[in-house]
Chains A and B, each alone.
Chain A
């Protein structure tokens, strides 16, 4: 520990701290822009490139960036001198001189750190004008829009893509005024091994990276008298959407969410959790099959489209080990356009399936060729949690005051096992609940596998199911997935089953969720909410979901049947690794 002075106040901090951390410890805020820390995932982005956090340090002639200046014994810092504040204002002014300033129509309006900073620093006019960047906007993929005219070169996206996710498609290119963050040869994302996880969008402090907005397509479908429009909502949406309306992080807003979707005009409000239960039926059947034959192990989960594209590019040699089960989103689409369409007597092309997802990769997933039949997509439109919130606001739905409502049946009935898909470790726990029951041949009362829960990037456990010791591992964040897979390839670790999610912490931290602006405590609250929702459910095992049982009786036959395979399973394609 060292002692130092900030604005005449004494502070004791760890010798490894930065001036910024020391100041925040005693409640002094220093504005930042390029800086990003996600403590629970050990992500530190301290480039010091924007210089917005400059402070005066006694004995030093130049202003120092607080975010990357280490503390020293006896250091005397002033954060609010005229000189520091004026420097910040000039820096911001210069940043804004090459910024489109179209805040009113920007996708990040209200969620932009640059906009916020201009307000905080009381910038009343922009002094400088000059050359403006002019880059074409990359709209060539389903998930992510890149508008580099708004880029401020903080390079947070690079840390998210290269360091955290190890996807590695972004780099600072060119120099001087022309410098920008881009893939190699400044190609569009669609040409690259981008997995569309959207963590770059979550990291971007401005509107340079944003989600492809599909709300207009939803409005058009809802207003088309020839279409029946149904909606599915993913598990992680219900524990985060409330934040967009000022509800406490960690509020379970399932009932309000259902009510809001009815207000918007969806004909039926269903639940992706139903399809999550279905995924467990198929995946567990596959797991038990492989365990009995002791072949093709470990089985890897395949619910996460970012992870699926990641292994197609980066681990094509392992393409045979992930489960062939489709993700819950796509299982829902396939069942809706066959079983449900038949039940209500609507042609698949007149049934519009909309998904509300915490994820941007789901937008890309729904567009994959293998998820269409006879030219009709299984899932027609995918919107994110944020897009749903904006639709509610557009339509004047006062979300926070809505009375709770229930999902429609049959595709809205779900178990607690379906809910926990939204947190890292949840898919595996759901599968273990069913595996244990099926192997033991009874309804076991011990169904909480708490050892697989948590936020840590790589976790493993040995669980006993029906007298059998299963070695399982969980990883979230693609950098962690890479480390885990490499240890398996080197023969350093052996497992029976592994769950992998592309986003650190799982879907609750998806690229389509309300922005957390570096506040990872919000994620922990969402995580606890998911497990609370699970604990409150009357049915907590996928195979005991009555509407799942009925679906198999009426339509699919047995789990793993030819019909189930045709509708609920998929295959993977090796892709270029560059």
Chain B
């Protein structure tokens, strides 16, 4: 469950993603101005996670320039924002594939062989846990319990849930991603 440790190159925020997508930038700005923000940074901090959710929904990931935009409007330090992003496995600072394949590694799934399922995905896709395929189609990861233990082991592809996944079902799941 190691997150990618890809450190951005160039000065802080120089990825420029926030300005390459003016519509999304505007939508994020509108969303944030609809919140009840004030001058009190301790209070604003309470809005951080929902802003990051919105930003990731819009941009697909949270590059530094987007983090800066959010930090700025909330009056928070960039480091605080990154601290939260790096804490939650849901948030990502690198682009993810169109199909986000997540193997549940919760206790129930794990004892029923989720690790072997994950290995099988790695072998078929040629990428490691936390990586994205070169064509940008797939990313692979493990996640904690999704609350469907009776179906263990469980795999999620974007919002779709597959239950009772044996390693030999992996090629079918990949073929489903069209």
User: With A185-B7, A578-B78 in contact, is A173–B86 under 8 Å at CB?
Assistant: yes
- CA–CA, A182 and B78, complex, Å: 11
- CA–CA, A162 and B80, complex, Å: 10
Contacts of A178 in B (CB 8 A): 2
Per DSSP, chain B at the interface is helix
Contacts of B8 in A (CB 8 A): 185, 187
Q: Tell me if B5 counts as interface (CB < 8 A to partner A).
A: yes
Q: Tell me if A62 counts as interface (CB < 8 A to partner B).
A: no
- CA–CA, A192 and B7, complex, Å: 14
Q: Tell me if B95 counts as interface (CB < 8 A to partner A).
A: no
Give the contact stretch, choosing among A144-152, A164-172, A251-259: A164-172
Contact B82 A173 (CB under 8 A): yes
- CA–CA, A182 and B7, complex, Å: 12
Minimum CB–CB distance from A395 to chain B (whole Å) comes to 41
- Chain B contributes a number of interface residues (CB within 8 A of A) equal to 23
- CA–CA, A185 and B71, complex, Å: 14
- CA–CA, A175 and B13, complex, Å: 24
Partner of B80 from A171, A174, A182 at Cβ < 8 Å: A171
Q: Tell me if B133 counts as interface (CB < 8 A to partner A).
A: no
Interface 0/1 of A189-224, CB less than 8 Å to B:
001100000000000000000000000000000000
Contact A186 B7 (CB under 8 A): yes
- Chain A contributes a number of interface residues (CB within 8 A of B) equal to 20
Partner of A186 from B5, B11, B81, B87 at Cβ < 8 Å: B5
Partner of B79 from A169, A174, A175, A576 at Cβ < 8 Å: A169
Contact A578 B71 (CB under 8 A): yes
Contact A184 B3 (CB under 8 A): no
Query: For residue A178, which residue of chain B has the nearest CB?
Result: B2
Contact B67 A184 (CB under 8 A): yes
Interface 0/1 of B73-88, CB less than 8 Å to A:
0000111111100110
Interface 0/1 of B1-29, CB less than 8 Å to A:
01101011001110000000000000000
Contacts of A171 in B (CB 8 A): 77, 79-80, 82-83
Contact A578 B68 (CB under 8 A): yes
Q: Tell me if A183 counts as interface (CB < 8 A to partner B).
A: yes
Sampled A-B contacts (15; CB under 8 Å) = A162-B77, A168-B77, A168-B79, A168-B80, A169-B77, A170-B79, A173-B87, A184-B12, A184-B64, A184-B81, A185-B8, A185-B12, A192-B12, A576-B13, A578-B12
Given contacts A170-B79, A191-B12, 8 further A-B contacts (CB under 8 A): A172-B83, A172-B87, A184-B64, A184-B81, A185-B7, A185-B64, A187-B12, A578-B72
Q: Which residues of A contact B (CB under 8 A)?
A: 162, 168-175, 178, 182-187, 191-192, 576, 578
